[in-house]
Amino acid sequence: MRAFRIGLAATWILACGSPSESTSGEDGGKSDATFAGAPDGAAEASGDAGSPIDATTAPARDGASGGVADSGPPSTDASADADLPGWTLTWSDEFDEPDGSAVDPTKWAHEVGGTGWGNQELEYYTDGTANAVVTGGNLVITATAAGASSLSCWYGPCQYTSARLKTEGLFAQAYGRFEARIQLPAGQGLWPAFWTLGDNISSVSWPACGEIDIMEAVDGEPLRNHGSLHGPVSPGSSTSYNLTGTAPATTTPLSTSFHTYAVEWDPGTVRFLVDDVAYETQTTASLTQNAANGVWEFDHPFFILLNVAVGGNFPGPPDAAAVFPQAMKVDWVRVYERAD
C-alpha cells in the first residue's frame, strides 16, 4: 500500500526482520514521497482529468452492467462476465462458495498480527471468518472494534480487528490485467487496498521486490482512488520511490457502489483504470524522469493482496464520527494475460 512518509522506510526494514512478521511487504512507510508520478487527477486521452468519472464513460463488458454508477448485486453469469476481448483469463476467484465460508485456502492465505505493519496501523489481522467471510457472492472483509481488546497490538490492547489476504505461494504472474470489483468501506481512518508485491520479496526484501497499488483509498478522499508503483530509489536502496496518480473523482463516494479497479501491465508500462477508464500510465521513462537512479522492479511475477487497514500514516486514526463495523465487499478478483 502507498508509502506515505519520508523516513518510514527504516521502520519497514526493522519490521521485515521481526520473526513475528510475515515476509510479505508492509502496508506503508515504504516510499520517499519526494518522487511523484502523474499528478492528482492525471488522465490519459481517455478523458478529461478535471471531470468526474461518470457511468457514461465506462463501457459495459458482456454480462456486466458496467459504469461507475453500478451498485448492483454480484454477477450471476461469471463465465460471461469474465469474457474480456483481447485477454485470456488465467486466474480468478468469484467468491461463489456458500454463505459463511472461509476463503478458498488453495487461492488465499491469511496474514496475522497487530504489529503496525510498518505504518503504525491500529488493527490486528485475524485468520478466521469473523473478519473475512464469503457471503452473498462476495468476499466481505470487516474492520470492527468488537472483541479487539482481547488481542495485543504494538501499542497495547488492540482497538480493531480486520483481515489481510494474499496469494503468495499460491499464485503469481508477470504482466497482464489484474482487476477486482469492489465496494469500499466508509469512515475516517479506513484504508482499504487491492495491491500486488513481487514474489521474490522473501529473498530480496522490500522495496527491491516492487509493489503495484491498484486500489488504495482513504475516506478523507471518498471520491478518489490512488494508483501507485514503488521500488528502490537506487540499486540496493531501502528507500522507495512513489510513482503515483489519482483517478478523477467519482460522482458519489466509492463506498456507495461497486467499482472495477484494474491495471494493465506490460514490459516497461503499467496503466491504471477505474471502471475501464484509464487515468494514469507509469513507464520506465516516467521513472527516470522522477527518480533518475530508480530501479524498475516490474519484470517478474507478482502476487495479490486484499486488506482493510485501520489508522496508520496514510489515513490517520478514526475520528469520533467513524462508525464500526465497516466492510469491504469484493465481488471477484481476476487476472488475465494478453491473448495471442
Q: Which one from 21, 216, 280, 297 is the annotated catalytic residue?
A: 216
What one-letter code names the amino acid at 285?
A
Confirm whether 216 is a catalytic residue: yes
Q: Which one from 26, 94, 211, 264 is the annotated catalytic residue?
A: 211
Reduced to 3 states (helix: H, G, I; strand: E, B; else coil), residue 309 is strand
145, 334 in Cβ contact below 8 A?
no
Q: Count the alpha carbons within 13 Å of 99 in the hemisphere toward its beta carbon.
A: 2
Confirm whether 211 is a catalytic residue: yes
Measured CA to CA in angstroms, residue 140 lies from 163, 261, 274, 300 at distances of 10, 17, 20, 30
**Residue in this structure with the C-alpha cell 503469481, named with its chain if needed:** 172
Q: Outline where DSSP puts E strands in the chain.
A: 87-93, 109-111, 123-125, 132-135, 138-143, 152-153, 156-157, 160-162, 164-166, 176-183, 190-198, 211-216, 226-232, 240-246, 259-266, 269-274, 277-283, 302-310, 326-338
Among candidate residues 3, 63, 70, the one with its CA nearest the CA of residue 32: 3
- The distance of Cα 318 from the centroid of its chain, to the nearest Å, equals 20
Residue 118 grid coordinates: 510498518
Which residues are the active-site residues? Answer: 211, 216
